Amino acid sequence: MAVKVSFQEKDFLSCCGSTTFAQHMASASPFSSLDHAISVARDVWFNTVDVNGWLQAFSAHPQIGQRHAPSHASQTSAQWSKGEQSTALATATGSSLQELSEWNARYWEKFGFVFLICASGRSTDEILAELKRRYTNRPIVEFEIAAQEQMKITELRLAKLFSSKESISSTTDKDSTMFAKKAEEDRISIIGGHVTAASESPVGKSIQAPSRSRPPITTHVLDTSRGGPAAGIDVLLEAWRGAQSRPEFGTTDNGGWVFHGSSKTDSDGRCGQLMSIVDNVPPGIYRISFNTSKYNPNGFFPYVSIVFEIRESQKREHFHVPLLLSPFSFSTYRGS
């Protein structure tokens, strides 16, 4: 029988400085595996924690290049931050630290929060180059990127949390020993996922992922002209089921697109459930469309459609397709 592991709110607060995040994770505990905990953590972070919670989590991190964490950060969080920045500090020079400090100040002045990046294994030069690149982003775009980076850090810290529990429980009984081995395998898989291509499979025993806590395809609409979420936009998800294996550019689809689900964005710009919560999303080509004319009748786009493909090797992944919208432009990217 699988052993479930329980943690306290303070443990999760060390992983992510949002009290809302820590409270929801503690309520959802115990977890059957690291994968299970990370699945719930992603759902809580992206679908439950609000803007203030994101900012609270950001504020628990020291600036890159600083050796001391903020006073309100826990001792464990401070120790982990120091370890995560060890490569950057080891490769830094006096001049590079000075330049990093200057760019940190510029970033804070523009965006109002600390520059956040999953720094593990990155040199000072790498981090500085990324800081300069992201400095050119619009605030609402950078805010979303920072949240993605926070989630990467949280995942790594959850792995450390499970690893510490493993060392404590490894001498108890046979079930605990089995869990320790499972937690270690999960930890290696998660950390490896951040340093290898997403298409590569972890070496060794395959890990049985738990059931999802949210649909495999989600979206989030942000109005860049207002600097906030876009509420009340109708969203439609379709899947390609035409005679040809894939739709061809410049040809009519002849009824090849099949309705999958629809919903409307809420006050936070997030869309309701567009498809069933399944472990394996059917591979294929999908189209997600947004009724932008209803949201902004005077805008340039009557509607926006985004077509993307989910491959066989990606069927257990989560696909977040955010839309950054203004009256005369839009952009998107694949989130977590």
> What is the set of active-site residues?
61
Q: Which two tokens stand for residue 303?
A: 């509607």
Q: Which two tokens stand for residue 13?
A: 């607060």
Q: Is the peptide bond before 322 cis (omega within 30 degrees of 0)?
A: no
CB-count burial class (<10 Å; 0-12, 13-18, 19+) for 179: buried
- Determine how many CB atoms are found less than 10 A away from the CB of residue 133: 9
Name the nearest CA neighbour of 262 among 285, 240, 237, 239: 237
DSSP SS3 for 144: helix
Distance of CA 26 to the CA centre of its chain: 19
> In one letter, which amino acid is 308?
F
CB neighbour burial string for 30-46, b if at least 16 within 10 angstroms, e if fewer? ebebbbbbbbbbbbbbb
CB 189, CB 290: distance < 8 Å = no
> In one letter, which amino acid is 111?
F
Per the listing, tokens 């080891």 go with 90
Per the listing, tokens 């629809």 go with 262
CB 22, CB 12: distance < 8 Å = yes
Distance of CA 42 to the CA centre of its chain: 6
Give the integer Cα–Cα distance in Å for 57 and 48: 14
Name the nearest CA neighbour of 319 among 266, 290, 278: 278
